[in-house]
Amino acid sequence: MTYRMPAWLREKIIELDGTCRYPHCGRPASECQIDHLVKFVHQDPITGGWTVEFNLMPLCTPDHQRKHMGLLIPTMLSDRAVVWRDPVSGETITTYPR
């Protein structure tokens, strides 16, 4: 398992999602970082956070930081919808590929 993704996988994620996947953001995916939903475990990559399609999404730099601050917790569904849950209120908002 590797942290870095091949260029073809980055392009596929950009094509699949279209924009930053954080709620209320429309920045083009081509201008975003590709982030692991489940954090990549550098010390033991087999345990999780794999660099595979169902664990990757585009996030612009500010929204990437928000995600890592834990303001909203993402879960990706099989259709690539991402359910974002507020850990304090429990409220959710769902984003979809565009």
Q: What DSSP letter does each residue of 45-93 carry, written as one string?
A: GGGS--SSGGGEEEE-HHHHHHHHHTSSEEEE-TTS-EEEE-TTT--EE
Q: Determine which of 19-23, 36-40, 44-48 has the lowest per-residue pLDDT on average.
A: 44-48
Q: d(Cα 36, Cα 13) in Å, to the nearest integer?
A: 11
Average pLDDT over residues 6-21: 97
Map residue 26 onto helix, strand or coil. coil
pLDDT of residue 87: 96
Q: What pTM, to 2 d.p., does this model score?
A: 0.89
- Percentage of the chain lying above the pLDDT 90 cut: 78
